[in-house]
Structure 1
């Protein structure tokens, strides 16, 4: 019998500088519970991004910082917000990064689902 190849259970998300050097790699755990948390967070993250970009209220930055840290650290690992914020000390930029991460992960997970379906039924 041919052995079953175990699939990688994480997705690496590299952060690179303008010269292409990796500054940070975040690992996304592909567990069912973590994928559910990611999908559940889409609307709230998009709303935070929109609120920050149009607000002049200074309190919203601290409120958003606390919110994003509370919702993203469980998805991407404890301390992730602080690591990303250290690269770009702007709540708005960090929210955009997390939004980009979420959208890229969603796309990758959907492509994996399609590829698995294709391999199983169309090959």
Structure 2
């Protein structure tokens, strides 16, 4: 059965549950019948790591914050990207190349990264 990550909200409180259900509609039906909280987000879990989580050795750059852009002659769209615990072996040029290769903005390829900030 598929696994889902479900976000529920009521007032100032937000709860995230992980459940296994028959379908997306089953998740919606279940929570609408058993909870007073509003179902705000349902994500299907496609990958879940098994095994040992590495200990924190602090051998990384703590934070990268930047804006990704997709720009054409007729439109400009940007999105903020925040990355945590970046490997020390990755430099800015390599990171930007990986972003352009693997990430998208509004379903379009990333044409540039600007306002990049690294926090050590």
- Is TM (by shorter chain) over 0.5? no
Q: Which has more strand, going by share of residues?
A: 2
TM-score range relative to shorter protein:
under 0.3
